[in-house]
Chain A
Amino acid sequence: MAEITRLIHEYLRHDKKFPHVWCPGCGIGIMLGSLIRAIDKTGYSKDDIVLVSGIGCTGRLPVYVDFNTLHTTHGRALTFATGIKLAKPRLKVIVIMGDGDAVAIGGNHFIHAARRNIDITAIIVNNSVYGMTGGQYSPTTPYGMKSTTTPYSNVEHAFNISELAVTAGAVFVGRGTVFHAKLLDSLMEKAFAKVGFSVVEIISHCHTQFGRLNRMGTAVEMMQWQRDHSVTVEKAAQMKTEELKDKFKIGVLVDRELPAYQDEYEKVRRWAKGTEKR
């Protein structure tokens, strides 16, 4: 099995400081492993991959890997990625965002990228909180949970990122957890193979902020929580609503075909130039 780590080292930027910046046991490192393995499976060369991130603990990820990488501004990763994809459609563009990045400040970009169905894969690490800035609540902080800005209790209701992506029009939506790291590999592989806007939501833990404030324990205990509160889509189909009350689904939530934006846009170009009749 050591070949797994050998493969990972092929993609790490060894001139960066390791061990990486994330807290001991943070799920982002586990997800980074899945990401590298899944990208390796695509067969793209390093130069054909563009990783774009915003700001946050998750947003630091591209710093560590040897692809074309852009570390942009908080919430705007998808806008930069859209520009790259339209300028160079042959590149594989992958966006890495935190939950705050993706659906708080970047929420509007997220729904419209999905609606347009531009060929980008959005990978979202959902740790239910703003990890980097000190544990403020995010739009995915569940009702009734604490954060540094909801010290009594969060009285708002959380976005379900995957359902939002489905409704907004993404052609592929998968959800996994960092506990289920092998599932993450396969969800990412499927997302990368899809033409159009694909989303992989990764339920992760920020034990040092969210976990601490909500007495959820260590990274290990929060991963046990992920294991105990998730059910596969297949299993969920056999279960009653009542049994699914405190569970979330993992697996492929949507996989459908729709014309992708950059191809449609190319058509418009040809119509406008008169090289093709509308």
Chain B
Amino acid sequence: MAEAQKKKDIPHIDIYRAWCKACGICVAFCPTETLARDEGGYPYVKYPEKCINCGWCEIRCPDFAITVEGKKNGKKVRDQFEKESPEKGTAAPGQ
């Protein structure tokens, strides 16, 4: 019971690969080493149970590509965003 309770409290971390540029900032400054980088340099959640939901990865991500939330808080940001905006990206850079 205590185990199950604990699992439920683990924050949910979502990495939005389409926007992530593998800069490594979220991983480098995570105070608990919850995150790690794969061979391509992209972040992944290595130890979900270590996350303390401090939110620093989300605040420092320059590309708004990682989100953290307490499990109970419901919907994932990415789902919501994709629903609202099925087509992203028409304008060319460097106008």
Q: Which of B22, B25, B61, B94 has the most CB of A within 10 A?
A: B25
- Is B24 located at the chain interface by the 8 A CB criterion? yes
- Is A22 located at the chain interface by the 8 A CB criterion? yes
CB within 8 Å of A: which B37-88 residues? 53-55, 58-65, 67-69, 73, 76-77, 80-81, 84-85, 88
CB within 8 Å of B: which A1-33 residues? 1-6, 8-9, 12, 14-30, 32-33
What residues on A are CB-neighbors of B1 within 8 Å? none
Instruction: Report the count of interface residues on A (CB-CB < 8 A).
Output: 39
Instruction: Report the count of interface residues on B (CB-CB < 8 A).
Output: 42
Interface mask (A49-86 → B, CB under 8 Å = 1, otherwise 0): 00000000000000100000001000000000000000
What residues on A are CB-neighbors of B91 within 8 Å? 15-17, 63
- Is A155 located at the chain interface by the 8 A CB criterion? no
Which residues in A have some Cβ–Cβ distance to B below 8 Å?
1-6, 8-9, 12, 14-30, 32-33, 63, 71, 178-179, 181-182, 218-220, 223-224
Give 24 CB contacts A-B under 8 Å: A1-B54, A2-B14, A2-B68, A4-B55, A8-B64, A9-B81, A9-B84, A14-B84, A14-B85, A17-B91, A17-B92, A18-B89, A19-B18, A19-B21, A20-B63, A23-B21, A24-B62, A25-B23, A25-B25, A30-B62, A63-B91, A218-B24, A219-B25, A220-B23
